Amino acid sequence: MPRYKLVVEYDGRPFVGWQRQTNGRSVQETLEAAAEKLCGTPTRVHGAGRTDTGVHATGQVAHLDFERAWPADTVRDAMNAHMRPEPVAILAASQVGDEFDARHSARRRRYLYRIINRRPPLALDTIAWQVAVPLDAAAMDAGAKHLLGRHDFTTFRASQCQAASPVRTLDRLDVRREGALVTVEAVARSFLHNQVRSMVGSLVEVGLGRWTPDDIAAALAARSRPACGPVAPASGLILTQVDYDDEDG
């Protein structure tokens, strides 16, 4: 059966998350409905990452199998047409080999968290967390560096996380400021449930002066969920890219 790799963008606000659920619409369900309209049979879509309720993506990757081959541009354009007016778009489609798996073939996942650090309300740039009190981005970045490397991230994972191990290797965690925009970029092969939002929420405590950068190291060492700061809202988190050994699939 021909297999296709999809690069997907979506606004997570109307959805219960990536994964199909019984309590509302999901991004996976929206893509599967479009695929079924294209090919006429139920089609399962497999994603590289299960983003939570309200989390966005500019570079989610998925794969699906059809019973017949279609031109890749037809897959992209037809599925996009069937998904209107949902805020989901397939940016690219390509035919790949059977060995490609959107989730298991992934080597790194890249997330960006956006904070708008200003007092006036957000009229246009609403895919962000607005923090009205000034943040010290340099202190946040210093705190972030304590989290780099391979650690037990129990403090920074949701209590309902189903991962077999809390140990992960964080390759990159950078905090930058450009005007009112403060960004946190996180890169790892895989993340725990709510890990990025948990880390960002704790780093904001540093930015507000409530924690020191060294308090991040202490929270990590505690290996205890209560040691985590407030979890950052989903509104600012974006899955921007999934990396593979062979980017052509």
**Helix ranges, the chain (H):** 27-39, 72-83, 137-144, 195-207, 213-222
Per-residue three-class SS string for 63-129: EEECCCCCCHHHHHHHHHHHHCCCCEEEEEEEEECCCCCCCCCEEEEEEEEEEECCCCCCCCCCCCE
Cβ atoms within 10 Å, residue 150: 11
Strand partners, 7: 61, 92
Q: Give the separation between CA 227 and CA 241, rounded to whole angstroms.
A: 30
**E strand map for 129-190:** 129-130, 149-152, 167-178, 181-188
Start-to-end CA span in the chain (Å)? 16
179 neighbors 135 (Cβ within 8 angstroms): no
- Kindly give, in sequence order, each residue whose CB lies less than 8 Å from that of residue 40, ignoring residues fewer than 6 positions away: none
Q: Give the separation between CA 175 and CA 180, rounded to whole angstroms.
A: 13
111 neighbors 94 (Cβ within 8 angstroms): no
Told to judge if 174 belongs to the known catalytic residues of this protein, a careful annotator would answer no
Q: Give the separation between CA 223 and CA 14, rounded to whole angstroms.
A: 34
Write down the catalytic residue from 11, 52, 73, 125: 52
Q: Which residues are catalytic?
A: 52
